[in-house]
């Protein structure tokens, strides 16, 4: 009882400014937590980070997992049939795919269509351009949301351990030697430390 009275006396003796300061401090912490949480939610996936897992259907309805290709270098491209830069980029992607597959490298190319239309629209495009690499369909935009892409085309080069080695925003001429430098280094020398990718792994075109 005496202890309780002492606490009450000490509390009553504190100036109002102290209580205001405590309240403001708590409020500031809450705001920072909310802001940080939102920034993490919208922060793009970058080089040097683990590629988020996903499962998507191909144009025949077969479910494909990114994890199915662990141990291979994966070329992950986000695109759409209505995207002109994507149309310009696709032929060079096909050439790259043909060359690397012919040499039996541990390499796979996955092109994720973000078209909201049904498979027939995407199939028509694939047939028109003579594409033979795997085409996946993210019709609901779920994977696009997970990867926090900012537009199309956008390409991620993923190493054998599932870590993003390079991020390319915009189209690229994949027949050029400079464009495939990271891919060939991964195929010939294997994966690097993730921190190395953070320094050299982003390209904006």
**How much is the pTM?**
0.79
Q: Are 34 and 70 members of one domain? A: no
Which CATH number characterizes residue 194's domain? 3.40.30.10
Q: How many distinct helices (H) and strands (E) make up the chain?
A: 7, 8
- The pLDDT tens digits of the residues spanning 139-172 come to 999 998 999 999 999 999 999 999 999 999 999 9
Q: Select the highest-mean-pLDDT range: 5-19, 36-50, 73-87, 190-204.
A: 73-87
What is the number of structural domains in the chain?
2
Q: Are 135 and 92 members of one domain? A: yes
pLDDT of 198 reads 83
Q: Are 87 and 12 members of one domain? A: no
Residue 185 inside a domain? The answer is yes
pLDDT of 23 reads 65
Task: Quickly count: other Cβ atoms within 10 Å of residue 155's Cβ.
Answer: 25
- The pLDDT tens digits of the residues spanning 92-109 come to 999 999 999 999 999 999
Q: Are 147 and 193 members of one domain? A: yes
Q: Are 68 and 27 members of one domain? A: no
156-187 in b/e form (b: 16+ CB < 10 A) is bbbbbebbbbbbbbebbbbeeeebbebbebbb
Q: Are 9 and 64 members of one domain? A: no
* Residue labelled with tokens 């190395």: 196
Q: What is the mean pLDDT of the chain?
A: 86
Q: Are 118 and 35 members of one domain? A: no
Q: Are 151 and 120 members of one domain? A: yes
Q: Are 76 and 155 members of one domain? A: yes
Domain that holds residue 107: 55-204
Residue 47 inside a domain? The answer is no
CA 78/CA 113 separation, integer angstroms: 6
Q: Are 7 and 37 members of one domain? A: yes
Percentage of the chain surpassing pLDDT 90? 73
């Amino acid at each position: 009882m005496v202890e309780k009275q002492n606490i009450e006396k000490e509390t009553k003796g504190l100036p109002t400014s102290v209580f205001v300061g405590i309240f403001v401090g708590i409020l500031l912490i809450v705001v920072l937590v909310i802001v940080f949480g939102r920034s993490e939610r919208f922060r793009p996936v970058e080089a040097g980070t683990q590629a988020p897992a996903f499962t998507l259907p191909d144009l025949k309805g077969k479910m494909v997992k990114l994890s199915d290709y662990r141990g291979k270098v994966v070329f992950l491209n986000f695109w759409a049939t209505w995207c002109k830069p994507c149309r310009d980029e696709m032929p060079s992607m096909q050439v790259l795919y043909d060359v690397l597959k012919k040499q039996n490298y541990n390499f796979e190319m996955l092109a994720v269509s973000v078209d909201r239309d049904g498979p027939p629209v995407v199939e028509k495009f694939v047939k028109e351009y003579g594409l033979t690499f795997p085409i996946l369909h993210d019709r609901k935009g779920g994977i696009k949301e997970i990867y926090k892409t900012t537009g199309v085309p956008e390409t991620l080069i993923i190493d054998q351990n599932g870590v993003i080695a390079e991020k390319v925003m915009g189209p690229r001429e994949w027949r050029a030697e400079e464009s495939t430098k990271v891919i060939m280094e991964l195929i010939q020398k294997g994966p690097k430390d993730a921190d190395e990718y953070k320094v050299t792994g982003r390209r904006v075109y």
